[in-house]
Amino acid sequence: MKIALIQQHATRNRENNVARGLRSLEKAASQGAKIVAYPELAFDLFLPQHPSSSEALACAEPIPGSTTDLFCEKAKELGVVVVLNLFEREEDRTFDSSPVINSKGEIVGKTRMVHIIQAPCFHEKDYYSPGNLGAGVFNTDFGRIGVAICYDRHFPEYMRALALKGAELVLVPQAGAIDEWPPGIFEAELQVAAFQNGYFVGLANRVGEEDLLTFAGESFITDPQGRVIARAPRGRDYILYGDLDFSQVNDCPAKKHFIPDRVPEIYRSL
């Protein structure tokens, strides 16, 4: 089963960003992809690189809403599953959210980023309320998909929760900048998460130079053995494909050993 990660840059022209995203979806589907995922805030400049303003907060949108309507229609037309990441507004709160759209064009659920960082060029507590929907894992026609939005991937407890809910594939919409951390650390972190928890991981990263940050790209896919099986280049738009065999999930070390050998009562006492 083929998946595609859409590594794309964003400009101030949101309409153009969305149009490019839809064209990439069509191209990915034409190449046989059944699951297509996008980076964090794929259709906007990375808003939290600046402290929040009323203008920036006004960019938040409802889910479902105009953007998800477009991708629901296209997902149904193409018969694919789509995982987006949007700046969501619900009443007086805003979230970093990933709706999951099935191949019938229906939103089967959404994940809201739980852990919120506040750091230079990542003023995320100015923008996002902590997610209140838990660690999302969703049934689709092409497998059980978990979502770990950007900062959530740093928390082993969250990544384990996705495994305990039966995720076969975890998608990570990311906004990772060049030289943000030691080279290779994010990749190594998710190789370990895939190995310890027994699922495939697909990280879809932003790419391109923006006001204060330059995003790296270098999206990648790991298998349940912790091996990187596909990697996108740095610094340019790219559609990364990966062929996944979910039978590997049931035959990996995590499912045969690590998960069954857990001792949860010990962990609760720490």
| Cα distances (Å, whole numbers) of residue 256 to 68, 159, 226 | 38, 18, 15
For the record, the structure tokens of 116 come out as 């919120």
Dihedral of the CA atoms 184, 185, 188, 193 (nearest 10)? Answer: -150
What pLDDT is recorded for position 20?
A: 98
In this predicted structure, the answer to whether residue 31 has a pLDDT above a threshold of 70 is yes
In this predicted structure, the answer to whether residue 184 has a pLDDT above a threshold of 80 is yes
Q: Compute the mean pLDDT over every residue in the chain, rounded to the nearest whole number.
A: 96
Q: Is 118 exposed, middle or buried (0-12, 13-18, 19+ CB in 10 A)?
A: exposed
Cis peptide before 64 (omega within 30 of 0): yes
What pLDDT is recorded for position 270?
A: 53
pLDDT band at 56 (very low <50, low <70, confident <90, very high): confident
d(C-alpha 54, C-alpha 137), whole Å = 33
Arithmetic mean of pLDDT, 5-24: 98
d(C-alpha 213, C-alpha 206), whole Å = 11
What pLDDT is recorded for position 181?
A: 84
- Please answer whether residues 103 and 36 qualify as being in contact, where contact means their C-beta atoms are separated by less than 8 angstroms: no
Q: What is the pLDDT of residues 94-143, one digit of tens each?
A: 999 999 999 999 999 999 999 999 999 999 999 999 999 999 999 999 99
In this predicted structure, the answer to whether residue 54 has a pLDDT above a threshold of 80 is yes
d(C-alpha 180, C-alpha 189), whole Å = 14
**Could you count the other beta carbons within 10 Å of the beta carbon of residue 266?**
8
Q: What is the CATH number of domain 2-268?
A: 3.60.110.10
| Cα distances (Å, whole numbers) of residue 17 to 8, 24, 188 | 9, 11, 30
> For the chain, what percent of residues have pLDDT higher than 70?
99
What pLDDT is recorded for position 33?
A: 98
For the record, the structure tokens of 183 come out as 């080279």
> For the chain, what percent of residues have pLDDT higher than 90?
93
What pLDDT is recorded for position 3?
A: 98
Q: What is the pLDDT of residues 210-259, one digit of tens each?
A: 999 999 999 999 999 999 999 999 999 999 999 999 999 999 999 999 99
What pLDDT is recorded for position 88?
A: 98
Arithmetic mean of pLDDT, 172-198: 95
In this predicted structure, the answer to whether residue 267 has a pLDDT above a threshold of 90 is no
d(C-alpha 172, C-alpha 153), whole Å = 7
In this predicted structure, the answer to whether residue 269 has a pLDDT above a threshold of 80 is no
In this predicted structure, the answer to whether residue 268 has a pLDDT above a threshold of 90 is no
